[in-house]
Amino acid sequence: MTIQIPVRMPTFMRVELTVDEHPELDRAIDLPTGSPQDWIVEAYRLSVGLEPHESSEYDGSDHCHHDEAYAYPWPSTLRADEIPGLPHDPVVVIRTIEAPPMGTPWLSVSSLSSNAALSGTPADALSPGWLTDQAPFREDDVNRELLRRHGVVQPFFDDSDLWFDDPRLPSPSPIATLASAVTPARRLALLAHIDGTDLLRPADPDFGDAESVLAPLARFIDLLGTVGIVQDATSGWVPDADGDRLVRSLGWNGTPDEMHSRREALVSFARRAKLIRRFKGRVVATALARKLIVASPLTMGTIAAMITATEDEWRDLRSTRSRAEEAVALLAIADGTAVHVDDLPGLVVEGSRAFAESDVRVDLDREGALWEGLRGARDDGGAGRIVERMGLLSARDDYGTITSAMREVARCALSAGFARERYAL
């Protein structure tokens, strides 16, 4: 067993209440930092022989509110007029103290007077009128009553640093998001699958793979040349004729709708990745684009960052479901489950069946919506976008078939965290 949750003791404070000219009413109340203020009133009233609440009927509602004591910080000062229900106006001082031993009362009270005789009436001097006489302060009896109501000092387990998944999963990352979204049994299977397929292995730069995924973008930059092309009069970007010529040169032929979708996706991707810009009526390649198309050990990670980039460069405001669906698509590419981008919508729908209802709302009628996103009619910000962008890394004359280079990009994207620096080149 390698998991260990830290065991901690709660912090305690001492509230000292003193009454001028009445040392027999001076008390010290020890209780956890952050305890409800009513506990002080309760302990003090009991110590001076009064019922702990305004009503003599105790409903047990204060019993063992340990969570409250851990959750709320206590103010550094406390005024006497903030403690209602007392027969006099004590002066209040708060001090920090060491936690008492385990097993002692969670809430306890003692006399501040050095003269024990002032703390109560001897038992043998009590009158038989116990039904009407004020109860004397006998420390053990009062603390036993408080123990009955609040329990004893005990450690608590601090699981704030304990996460649901294997500590080897990088966080934040798409794969960690997916692990958080699925049910417990599926999470165990997912973690074993990650280890079995070695998805989180260190990157091994392969210039052949890098050149393969760069080929479509490199062809686009070649088309722009050194002076760029004249902006389209309507869109302000690449004219349709030039976009069609680019798609045909890549061998990404298909129906007119498919050709249109691929052309628009490639231009949109280049715009969002800041690979092209407008300058004096022309669309030109940026310095980033010209640097990117030269393969390097950082190419795969850079392309992965571009593939998963969100609308907001600084924050990812999408839902957990959207991010988890994106991770399902990336995983299906990285582990070899998907052989063509056309397989991804169905695989994402199937993967959604493993989502935990408490964390991600399950909606299994997703395949049609994902296809709409792929066709450009709907961008759900998650899997549909990944399907579209990964298709742009296809080899020439074989649009949509997933290559080993595309799998490596997906693998890099699965373990990549969100960074303020958009791309590392």
pLDDT for residue 304: 92
- State the Cα angle at 223 between 220 and 227, rounded to 5°: 115
C-alpha 383/C-alpha 373 separation (Å) is: 9
For residue 44, give Cα distances in angstroms to 64, 104, 114, 148, 284.
Answer: 18, 18, 18, 16, 79
DSSP-derived 3-state class of residue 397: coil
pLDDT for residue 374: 41
Give me the count of residues in the chain: 425
The token pair at 408 is 């490596």
pLDDT for residue 53: 67
Helices 404-414, 383-391: inter-axial angle, 10-degree rounding:
140
Residue 230 phi, psi (nearest 5): -65, 135
Side-chain-side CA neighbours of 314 within 13 Å: the count stands at: 0
C-alpha 208/C-alpha 386 separation (Å) is: 23
C-alpha 369/C-alpha 363 separation (Å) is: 11
Which residues are CB-contacts of 380 (< 8 A; sequence separation ≥ 6)? 322, 325, 369, 370, 373
First-to-final CA distance of the chain: 41
pLDDT for residue 340: 95
pLDDT for residue 252: 93
Residue 174 phi, psi (nearest 5): -60, -40
For residue 178, give Cα distances in angstroms to 305, 359, 401.
Answer: 18, 11, 25
- DSSP at 25: G
Ranges of residues in the chain with a pLDDT under 50 are 55-77, 116-126, 359-380, 418-425
3-state helix, strand, coil in the chain (%, to 5): 40, 10, 45
C-alpha 338/C-alpha 328 separation (Å) is: 11
